[in-house]
């Protein structure tokens, strides 16, 4: 979006390691006119600062015939999933037939498509209404991207994936409408998966009315009503959703406050260091998730879906020795001053959790011990991933 985030691969992966995470999978965004391969080269250069292993999802924008050959090269090189946005800045509606061709090509190549599901028609309609009412501001941000937008886009995405015969992974679902689309698709025998983000488990849209700096809560999709948090917990427990992921995008508060209208607000926040402790504290300790399910949604299932298993996602002979040592009784009050992201504020400031990582091991190396970072920049390696079909 023309801006540089507060975090880079070093600060982000240090934060991840301190939160017990041993591998990330980032989205590689091509610049206008840039090929997928060139974007991957640029992202790999950024990854040279990483302290943990990483994978990359090539992101498709404005696809054409050239994109299909680029996709074949990506999969051959071990980049086996592609990100597609259904919103305005990707011009999804304009290029929908070409995106469908790309989805079909991904299926033929044995890859998977990761789809951001929000309907731009709904968003544009609601945004215009807010502007006409002179009410387009951060506190009305959730109204600009309603739940029906997510549900409508999720259904469209899954029917397109059905036509293209490709496995679909719906990223950061936030509400019942997205889950209904997943369940209906599975009912017709479709291969599809769902992910949610920590913000939809721990925060509700009331934050936009109550907080001094509501800009910190802006994300795509937005926070939902309080009852939707329990809906997402139940979906995680029951297997409707397969994973929890962060969409970690660390901005400084000055950047978050620089825009005012709902269509200009910067989405995203630093979230890598707290995702696992909060998932354990609010999930396992409250009885919402079993310990096994906690491991499954944060480690085993992501590794399998993203083509990293059994190199990642399990403790076994021949696998990478990626291990988090976790003190289930350690009380921690989350403070920005203790975090390792370059972001100058903390989304969960003051949250009290029980359970925190005390050691993180990556490929047999102790990289964090009792909060002390022992890893040097650049020790992280690119993980070339297997295809979904393999």
Beta strands in 118-264 (DSSP E): 168-173, 192-196, 243-244
- State the greatest distance between any 2 C-alpha atoms of the chain, in Å, as a whole number: 62
- Residue 251 DSSP label: -
User: Are the C-beta atoms of residues 290 and 171 closer than 8 Å to each other?
Assistant: no
pLDDT value of position 3:
87
Q: CA angle, corner 92, sides to 90 and 97, nearest 5?
A: 135
Does an H or E element contain 327, and which?
strand 323-333
**What does the pLDDT read at residue 185?**
98
- And the tokens for 116? 């951001």
Range 365-369, long-range pairs (CB < 8 A, 24+ positions): 367/17, 367/51, 367/52, 368/17, 368/18
- The Cα-based distances of 256 to 204, 261, 305, 330, 386 in angstroms read 19, 12, 33, 32, 37
Q: Where are the domains of the chain?
A: 9-373
- What tens digit of pLDDT does each residue of 132-169 get? 999 999 999 999 999 999 999 999 999 999 999 999 99
The token pair at 346 is 């903390």
* Residue pair 22/52 in contact by the 8 Å Cβ criterion: yes
Range 9-373 classified under CATH 3.20.20.140: yes
**pLDDT tens digits, residue range 345-358?**
999 999 999 999 99
The single-letter DSSP state of residue 1 is -
3-state secondary structure of 83: strand
Q: Are 148 and 177 in contact (CB under 8 A)?
A: yes
CA distance 271 to 15: 9
For residue 191, the number of C-alpha atoms closer than 13 Å in the C-beta half-sphere is: 13
Q: Which of 273, 144, 114, 297 lies closest to 219 in space, CA to CA?
A: 144
Ranges under pLDDT 70 in the chain: 1
CB 63 within 8 A of CB 23: no
Q: What is the DSSP string of 214-245?
A: GGGG--SSPP--HHHHHHHHHHHHHTSS-EE-
Distance of alpha carbon 279 from alpha carbon 348, whole angstroms: 13
């Amino acid at each position: 979006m023309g801006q540089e985030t507060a975090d880079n691969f070093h600060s982000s992966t240090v934060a991840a390691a301190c939160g017990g995470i041993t591998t990330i999978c980032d989205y590689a965004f091509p610049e206008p006119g840039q090929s997928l391969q060139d974007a991957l080269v640029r992202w790999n250069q950024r990854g040279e600062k990483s302290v943990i292993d990483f994978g990359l999802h090539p992101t498709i924008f404005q696809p054409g015939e050239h994109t299909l050959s680029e996709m074949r090269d990506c999969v051959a090189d071990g980049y086996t999933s592609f990100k597609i946005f259904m919103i305005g800045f990707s011009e999804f509606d304009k290029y929908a037939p070409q995106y469908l061709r790309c989805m079909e090509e991904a299926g033929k190549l044995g890859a998977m498509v990761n789809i951001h599901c929000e309907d731009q028609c709904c968003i544009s309609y609601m945004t215009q209404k807010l502007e006409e009412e002179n009410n387009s501001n951060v506190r009305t941000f959730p109204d600009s991207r309603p739940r029906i937008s997510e549900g409508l886009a999720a259904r469209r995405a899954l029917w397109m994936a059905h036509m293209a015969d490709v496995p679909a992974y719906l990223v950061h679902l936030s509400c019942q409408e997205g889950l209904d689309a997943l369940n209906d698709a599975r009912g017709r025998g479709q291969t599809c998966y769902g992910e949610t983000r920590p913000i939809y488990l721990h925060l509700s849209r009331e934050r936009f009315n109550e907080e001094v700096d509501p800009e910190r809560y802006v994300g795509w999709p937005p926070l939902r009503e309080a009852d939707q948090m329990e809906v997402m917990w139940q979906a995680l427990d029951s297997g409707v959703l397969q994973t929890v992921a962060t969409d970690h995008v660390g901005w400084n508060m000055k950047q978050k406050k620089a825009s005012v209208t709902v269509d200009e607000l910067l989405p995203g926040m630093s979230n890598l260091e707290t995702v696992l402790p909060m998932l354990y504290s609010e999930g396992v300790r409250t009885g919402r998730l079993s310990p096994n399910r906690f491991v499954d949604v944060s480690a085993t299932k992501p590794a399998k879906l993203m083509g990293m298993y059994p190199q990642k996602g399990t403790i076994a002979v021949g696998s990478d020795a990626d291990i988090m040592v976790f003190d289930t009784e350690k009380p921690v009050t989350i403070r920005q001053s203790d975090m390792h992201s370059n972001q100058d504020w903390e989304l969960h400031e003051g949250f009290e959790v029980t359970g925190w990582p005390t050691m993180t091991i990556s490929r047999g190396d102790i990289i964090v011990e009792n909060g002390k970072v022992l890893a040097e920049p650049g020790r992280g390696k690119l993980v070339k991933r297997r295809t979904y079909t393999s």
